[in-house]
Structure 1
Amino acid sequence: MRLQLLQLVLAALCSTACTSKTANIPFYIISNGETPSLGRPGLTPIGKQRAESCIPNVFSQLNIGLIITCTVDRDGKEGLKCAAANETAVPLAKTLGINISTCATGDGADDDCPNNTLQKFNKNSNQSVLFVWDSTDMEDLIENVDTDAGLDNDQLALHADLILTVNPKDLRNVAVTSMNCTGIDGTA
């Protein structure tokens, strides 16, 4: 009788503790590294330095288990949109030995993809998720993961050093910090 009661109590505790464990894991949002002017493709030398050395140094310490980035919209009208985000994400994914998941952008895209991918991953993991998104589409991502908190989306698009740390228990509680990349960013 006592053993059964203990098992029931432990099961009840685990059901609340185990679910809240993954619900407390923060997720992160960054934009692509610096890109050339006039819409030219790829990353600038500074953007490559950020992607290859700084981002892996910053995020390898944060228990990242999944990286989600955007892909070109399905009808292809937006050309190379998201290519810089993917180029930014690849060095970290290689450092961590993890795959990159993608969500389409633009007309006809599944707006729920970022949030659904995040939720699906969180059901079976105690690791964090990092979104690496196209700087020109940051507003849509923030809306699609239900994280607004009055953030200035123009500022997010302009500053490649910003990290948004989102508390999933309070999606309005977003911390904005700088990567503080040596030789790239000033002090925050």
Structure 2
Amino acid sequence: MRLQFLQLLLAALGSTACTSEPAGIPFYIISNGETPSLGRPGLTPIGKQRAESCIPAIFSGLNIGLIITCTVDRDGEEGLNCAAANETAVPLATALGINISTCATGDGADDDCPNNTLQNFRKNSNQSVLFVWDSTDMEDLIENVDTDAGLDNDQLALHPDLIVTVNPNDLENAGLTSMNCTGIDGTA
């Protein structure tokens, strides 16, 4: 009887460990929505449409529990699209009822912040994480979350419709898809 109890207890603990382990849960990376030319702040009308209607529709069903975005560096030289990234993230965060975490960019920034924030969240959650990042700083983010995966950083910077899906069990092979936003993006 005692042996059966121990076997049941070990089986229960094993199954709990397996179901609560977030290691296989993907995380996602997108850039800010479309921005005006000549470095003007904010999002274009198309960028706002992407942020307000398309992104929430896509990500609301993906069990997102945390959104991480960037902040402009102290000198105002790097992360210039971080305000646009935040503006892109806010409608989804509002729809999901979650907060947005931030990590600094540029010289003197904690390069480990994106990965540490991701890992700390995963310790207590089985939900996915979405990075909404400055399109001009994608290379640093991709490097800082340890998922080079052969991604073309220029392509990520030029195309705000791209979604990078990263499976933590296979950091070397990230998936790349289009949002296919109706009325905004062409057919992928």
Contact 1:60–1:96 under 8 Å retained in 2: yes
Tell me what 1:171 maps to.
171
Q: What does the per-residue CA deviation read over 1:12-41, in whole Å, with 9 as the maximum and x for residues that have no partner?
A: 4433x146x300110000000001111111
Tell me what 2:10 maps to.
8
Structure 2 Cα separation of the partners of residues 176 and 167 of structure 1: 12
**Percent of residue pairs identical:** 81
Structure 1 Cα separation of the partners of residues 65 and 16 of structure 2: 23
Structure 2 Cα separation of the partners of residues 118 and 88 of structure 1: 19
Tell me what 2:93 maps to.
93
Q: 1:179 to 1:81 in 2, by over 3 A?
A: closer
Offset of residue 81 of structure 1:
3.7
Structure 1 Cα separation of the partners of residues 151 and 80 of structure 2: 26
Q: RMSD of the TM alignment (CA)?
A: 1.4
Greater shift, 79-88 or 92-101, is seen at 79-88
Structure 2 Cα separation of the partners of residues 143 and 24 of structure 1: 20
Structure 1 Cα separation of the partners of residues 50 and 33 of structure 2: 6
Q: Does 1:65 align with 2:59?
A: no
Structure 1 segments of 4 or more deviating over 6 A?
none
Tell me what 1:102 maps to.
102
TM-score normalised by structure 1 residue count: 0.94
TM-score normalised by structure 2 residue count: 0.94
Q: 1:187 to 1:119 in 2, by over 3 A?
A: same
Structure 1 Cα separation of the partners of residues 161 and 154 of structure 2: 14
Contact 1:74–1:109 under 8 Å retained in 2: no
Q: 1:79 to 1:127 in 2, by over 3 A?
A: closer
Contact 2:80–2:134 under 8 Å retained in 1: no
Tell me what 1:150 maps to.
150
Q: What does the per-residue CA deviation read over 1:126-182, in whole Å, with 9 as the maximum and x for residues that have no partner?
A: 110000000000000000000111111000000000000000111012110000000
Greater shift, 139-148 or 4-13, is seen at 4-13
Secondary structure at 1:170's aligned position in 2?
coil
Q: 1:60 to 1:9 in 2, by over 3 A?
A: closer
Tell me what 1:50 maps to.
50
Structure 1 Cα separation of the partners of residues 181 and 90 of structure 2: 18
Q: Which letter maps to 2:73?
A: D
Contact 1:27–1:129 under 8 Å retained in 2: yes
Secondary structure at 1:173's aligned position in 2?
coil
Contact 2:79–2:136 under 8 Å retained in 1: no
Q: What does the per-residue CA deviation read over 1:48-74, in whole Å, with 9 as the maximum and x for residues that have no partner?
A: 110011101111111111000000113
Q: Does 1:159 align with 2:159?
A: yes
Which residues of structure 2 form unaligned runs of 5+? none
Secondary structure at 2:101's aligned position in 1?
strand
Residue-pair matches, total = 186
Structure 2 Cα separation of the partners of residues 13 and 96 of structure 1: 29
Which residues of structure 1 form unaligned runs of 5+? none
Q: Does 1:82 align with 2:82?
A: yes
